[in-house]
Structure 1
Amino acid sequence: MISIRMSRPDEGNRAIEIWRLAVDATHHFLAQEDRLAIEKMVATFLPQAPLWLAVNGNDYPLAFMLVEKGHMEALFVDPAYRGVGIGAMLVRHGIAQHPALTTDVNEQNLQALGFYEKMGFKQTGRSALDSDGRPYPIIHLQFTGIERSHAQ
């Protein structure tokens, strides 16, 4: 059974581990030096961030989501638990709190883009560079409707 709760201060290392595993499994487009620079930045703020965690029946974190002012800043799922609905559960939790939830996704991360579109997000814009000025285009998304069924 998966449940969602807020993170505790002692779970920062697990959050970084989830981030690292997820990025290594999905962000093959990142140059190694950029990947390392981003991890260094993430390690400075993620442990203190107010994260929503998806935890298993033993209260072990499997995924996390960070939402600030109606914008989903991060959604990362441990790759060992991808594809079973944990990410969707977290996104639905975010939408319940912020019906016009927005997020950004790397244009090169086609799986994530498809996931968000299936969840009911629509593209609202594009930036040629990421928020740190790196050459990784960003697609801006906003939740605008009902999830698409698997049949569509």
Structure 2
Amino acid sequence: MLRKYQEDDVADVVAVWEAATRLAHPFLSEAFLTQERHNLPNLYLPNAETWVWVAEGQGGVAEGRVVGFVALLGAEIGGLFVDPPYSRQGIGGALLQRAREEKGTLEVEVFEANPIGRAFYARHGFIPLGQSTHEPTGQTLLRLRLPAEQPKPE
């Protein structure tokens, strides 16, 4: 189920972020991850429009728990993460679609060394705009854009 983020989702959101980040970004230092673990609930989430995906209907351990989220800073995706056991189930695509419905054209930065994220954004039609260096890590960032959906002719 897709819904707006609520403050009591914070522990689940941080857990999803950490699990997905450790899988997709093994090149990030522990010091950087520790800082980001602090920044997520204290800096990023309070300033972002965030949507979450809550597991439901299977009666399993995750039922009622946030298993994915997208955080938007204007029309920029600040983060889109899905708990690894729930990946490839359409959750990321549903979160992306909600972001697109809310904002139209979207932009995102993804680490070049993150093949999981790069493949996801390519599958969903993002096009490259350029690259830069992520100052805190020295890693290359790719800037991507997804144009707004065009209305279908009648």
TM bin, normalised by shorter chain, reads 0.7 to 0.9
What amino acid sits opposite 2:16 in the alignment? I
- Deviates most, 45-54 or 105-114: 45-54
CA contact (8 A) 1:16 1:46 kept: no
In the other structure, the counterpart of 2:142 is: 139
Does residue 97 (structure 1) correspond to residue 94 (structure 2)? The answer is no
* Contact 1:26–1:109 (Cα < 8 Å) also in 2: yes
Using the size of structure 1 for normalisation, the TM-score is: 0.84
Structure 1 residues not aligned, in runs of 5+: 147-152
* Amino acid in the other structure paired with 2:146: F
Quote the residue 1:149 is aligned against: none
Matched, 1:25 2:28: no
What's the % identity of the aligned pairs? 23
5+ residue gaps in structure 2? 57-62, 150-154
Match in the other structure for 2:50 = 51
Deviations 1:67-113 (A, max 9, x none): 12111111011111111111111011111222211111111101111
Instruction: Please name the residue that 1:80 is paired with.
Output: 85
Q: CA deviation at 1:50?
A: 3.7
Note the aligned Cα RMSD (angstroms).
1.9
Give, in whole Å, the separation in 2 of the partners of 1:23 and 1:55: 19
Q: Distance in 2 between matches of 1:45 and 1:52?
A: 16
Q: For the residues of structure 2 that align with 1:33 and 1:137, how far apart are their CA atoms?
A: 18
Secondary structure at the counterpart of residue 137 of structure 1 = strand
Distance in 2 (CA, whole Å) between partners of 1:45 and 1:145 is: 28
Q: Which runs of 4+ in 1 moved over 3 A?
A: 46-50
Contact 2:12 2:65 in 1 (8 A): no
For normalisation by structure 2, the TM-score amounts to: 0.83
| 1:133 Cα offset (Å) | 3.6
> Is 1:115 equivalent to 2:114 in the alignment?
no
